[in-house]
Amino acid sequence: MATALAYEQFDGVPDADCDARIRAAKEKLGARAVILAHHYQRDEVFRHADFSGDSLKLSRLAASSQADYIVFCGVHFMAEVADILSRPDQVSILPDLAAGCSMADMANYAAVRRAWKELAEISDPDARVTPVTYINSSAALKAFCGDHGGLVCTSTNARHVLEWAYKQREQVLFFPDQHLGRNTAYRMGMSLEDMAEWDYSRPLGGLTPAQIKRAKILLWKGFCSVHQMFRPEHIDAFRQHHPEGKVISHPECSFEVCQKSDHVGSTEYIIRTVAESPAGSRWLVGTEINLVNRLQQRFQDEDKIVQFMSPMACMCSTMFRIDPQHLLWTLENLVAGRVVNRIKVPAAEAESARVALNRMLDVSP
């Protein structure tokens, strides 16, 4: 195979030229390539997606895709999921390898394995604890869950996953996002006293053996930096000025924000709820700004007002690294018969991770 076209040839291409050349490359590739884009992706890239959605939807699309090449305009763990769930002959590609996830980085295999060993000092975790990893995690952690009777969850199906987990064992170790775990468990009827935060930087998570045994769910001390921008006082100010307005938040937001919200749910839930609301309604939305801006534009003809919760703009900076230039570079190399930035999960790891992901898909409505 010939040497790939260097990215430096694309770095300075104006966005308008990128747009035209991306469309031309897509036409040449036809059904051989499919572009998946997460809802948080920037508009200049999002517009070229063949399919868009949240993590669960995109996981299912990756599993069912017939294309030779899956170009994932998201972050690294999403492209890993596409590789794990797609056919062996398909190629998963991430246009920019720097597109990671700070939340996913808060839980690595070594830290989770250490926590598991520490739990074994108290009781047998393989008999007592179901490990559940948020899809925002590495393939290695998905494989860990697959090997230890656990599974993956998304913000869409977290409740169904936890309900399944508690049918297997009495306790859950939930990583890496504490807020999704806490908000989901609380809505299932658990009290805050049933939950314990596992500080992965401290022995035994900073907990006593008694605290660990008492907890129904152990919440890894991880978080999404974007969703931590939103504060309860932002909601208070909105309600003071717009008492008729509604507040909707992603479950990666803090417990206090979610408690003050009228609705809490995944990106797909947020989109559907705003879409089904009456014309002229007003919404304060606690999730990534690209999605919020897209909702405002989509529903402005219905006189709906959709505003970002924080007074400070905050985007998913790692996903933002995938720009039109990187997408163009990826596609024109494919047209020339070259693959750049392939994401390939090692076979053994992929097999175990697939077990955890398929368990998730099996329990998802």
52 annotated ligand-binding residue: no
Q: Which residues of 265-284 are buried (b: 16+ CB within 10 A; e: fewer)?
A: bbbbbbbebbeebeeebbbb
145 annotated ligand-binding residue: no
200 annotated ligand-binding residue: no
318 annotated ligand-binding residue: no
Neighbours of 332 (CB within 10 A): 21
Contact between residue 352 and residue 143 where contact means Cβ atoms under 8 Å apart: yes
326 annotated ligand-binding residue: no
Contact between residue 95 and residue 329 where contact means Cβ atoms under 8 Å apart: yes
101 annotated ligand-binding residue: yes
Distance, in Å, from the CA atom of 308 to the CA atom of 294, rounded to the nearest integer, reads 11
CA distances from 271 to 250, 265, 306 (A): 11, 10, 11
258 annotated ligand-binding residue: no
Neighbours of 243 (CB within 10 A): 7
DSSP code for 304: -
153 annotated ligand-binding residue: no
39 annotated ligand-binding residue: no
217 annotated ligand-binding residue: no
Burial of 83 (0-12, 13-18, 19+ CB in 10 A): buried
Phi, psi of 163, rounded to the nearest 5 degrees = -60, -40
Residue set of the binding site for iminosuccinate: 38, 55, 134-136, 155, 250-252, 267
Residue set of the binding site for [4Fe-4S] cluster: 101, 224, 316
Residue set of the binding site: 38, 55, 101, 134-136, 155, 224, 250-252, 267, 316
